[in-house]
Amino acid sequence: MNFASLAISVLCWTIIALTITPVIWLFLLPYLKGLTRAERQAANLLRDMLTPEQFRQLLWRGYLEIPSPSEPKWTYRVPRTKGYVQVLESGHAIMRLCLQPAEYLPDADVVVLHKLMIEANEEVYLQKANKYACHD
């Protein structure tokens, strides 16, 4: 094996390892952190509910972007952990929304909750949320 083919082989294996590491890490994270059974189940549900692209976005960027079903220029940015949901219009934040469950839910379940509410009935979602204007 010459040097060029060895270098290409090492490069390919490095790319493969870097590609699958986040998925393996997210799968093992609930067990390594000592999360409760409910938190592990929530993480599994979240993984099942998202497309691979959405899952990567949530993992790498810390938020999930959900396009508005009724406003073509709007996108909802749902954080992976507690925090405001941002409403973006053409990429610029126009408002922050606060909508939390009455009882404790694991963070992963809260992300699923926001996703399902926005996609199922955006109008009711917006009615229930506390709204705060964003000023640039």
Q: What is the pTM of this model?
A: 0.73
Q: What is the pLDDT of residues 38-68, one digit of tens each?
A: 888 888 899 999 999 999 899 889 999 999 9
Position 77 scores a pLDDT of 97
pLDDT above 80: residue 36: no
**Which sequence spans correspond to the domains of the chain?**
35-133
Burial 41-77 (b: 16+ CB within 10 A, else e): ebbeebbeebeeebbebbbeeebbebebeeeeebbbb
What is the rounded average pLDDT of the residues 68-78? 95
Q: What rounded mean pLDDT belongs to the chain?
A: 87
Q: What is the pLDDT of residues 103-112, one digit of tens each?
A: 988 999 999 9
Look at the alpha carbons of 37, 40, 44, 45 in this order and tell me if their dihedral is positive or negative: positive
